[in-house]
Amino acid sequence: MEGIRVLDKDISFMKRALNLAAKARGMTSPNPMVGAVIVKGGKIVAEDYHKKAGEPHAEALAILNAADRARGSDLYVTLEPCCHLDKRTPPCTNAIINAGIKRVFIAMKDPNPKVSGKGIDELKRHKIEVVCGVLEDKAKKLNEAYVKYITTKTPFVILKTAMTFDGKIATPEGQSKWITGEAARKIVHRMRGSVDAILSAVGTVKADNPEFTVRTGQWIRNPRRIVIDPNLEIPLDYKIFNTPPETIIITRKQVIGNGQKAIEEKRKALIDRGIKIIEYDGDRVDLKLLMKRLGEIGIASLMIEGGSSLNAYALQDGIVDKVVFFIAPKIIGGKDSIPAIGGKTFRRLEDAFQIYNMNVKKVGQDLMMEGYLKSS
């Protein structure tokens, strides 16, 4: 941060803007969450946040609310104002300039190549003082999914699992309900409401017949359901085929094209129900290629809710950005119970997956541990 000195009051107003932005969690994708606060004479005169893709941006809404009071004011915004024309809403830099705002405090630059730094340059060109980097780390964490998607065109991937104290997700017989308590399950529902899609696999779906919907909190948008089912084994009467929202099945080309009458009938029945089918070659889906395909259809964030094998393959294929583990105060024990992460065993500690920026908190009687697979 250069130029203007950042005071405690500036930090406080930016915190307010970040809190406003977070009110739209799960509703703005593929856009970022953005909050804006307009301050004059040390007091907030207007504020607002971006509520949904295609709707007015936070800065424009706050300026509209402020009316004439915006002239000579300070604007606190959580993301660099946009300046490009090829979108559904007008550039926010124009609104800021026309409103007569004198200073703009920005939490983070927009990683979108169409904007990155250009919005700041446009404001400075019109003699508006700009400070960038106020609570930058918090802003980046808030929009971590947006940052990943806009720079790579692949979704931000969260690996979520619930396990016992000794790292098991089920008994040898497959019993897993409920490992964690109600408080942890409520958080999982909120997490579902904040992502574009859930990724699971045939084993989990056949065992639990889940809906993968949001049943608690303020979120009203359910994520799309993506299920890896290589041999089209999931029965047609299962919930994922008979409840909203959209379900996408990932299956092998060989199964669909091998001429088996039952398989062809199953495929037709799925399509008739509006189920999208994505095919892959080989014995196992390449999850990196799948993420690229999902990014192409607009999925910017995804949470894995699978079993031991899917968890292992996700880590092995390098698609996981963030891990969230819920650990219950229970011990199953035994070598036949199912571990949270299956797959191959590393023979050397230095080859193990490293977790960065780890955070641990107590949720009811359980522990919630989260961290990142790549340092940041």
Q: Is 83 annotated as a binding residue?
A: no
DSSP string, 321-367: -EEEEEE-S----SSSSEESS-SPPPSSGGGSPPPEEEEEEEETTEE
- Average pLDDT (333-347) is 87
What is the average pLDDT value for the chain, to the nearest integer? 91
Percentage above 70 pLDDT, the chain? 94
Q: How far apart (Å, rounded) are the C-alpha atoms in residues 82 and 104?
A: 13
Model confidence over 164-195: pLDDT tens digits? 999 999 888 777 778 899 999 999 999 999 99
| Digit-coded pLDDT (tens) for 357-368 | 999 999 999 999
Which pLDDT score is estimated for 376?
43
In the chain, where the domains are located: 8-144, 153-372
Rg of the chain over Cα atoms, rounded to whole angstroms, equals 23
- One of 3.40.430.10, 3.40.1190.10, 3.40.50.2300, 3.40.50.150 is the CATH number of 153-372, namely 3.40.430.10
The confidence band for 134, taking pLDDT boundaries of 50, 70 and 90, is very high
Catalytically annotated residue among 47, 59, 80, 122: 59
- Record the pTM: 0.91
CATH architecture of 8-144: 3-Layer(aba) Sandwich (3.40)
15-72 pLDDT tens trace: 999 999 999 999 999 999 999 999 999 999 999 999 998 899 999 999 999 999 999 9
In this predicted structure, what is the pLDDT of residue 170?
Answer: 86
The answer on whether 92 is annotated among ligand-binding residues is yes
Does the annotation mark 59 as catalytic?
yes
pLDDT at 255: 65
- Give the residue with greater pLDDT, 259 vs 295: 295
132 is in an annotated binding site: no
The DSSP annotation for 15-52 comes to: HHHHHHHHTTTTTSTTSPP-EEEEEETTEEEEEEE--S
How confident is the model over 231-257, as pLDDT tens digits?
Answer: 899 999 999 998 888 999 999 987 665
Mean pLDDT in residue range 326-355? 89
Q: What is the C-alpha separation between 372 and 324, in angstroms, rounded?
A: 9
pLDDT at 125: 93
User: Is 284 annotated for ligand binding?
Assistant: no
d(CA 291, CA 295): 6
Residue 200 annotated as part of some ligand binding site: no
User: Does the structure show a pLDDT above 60 at 336?
Assistant: yes
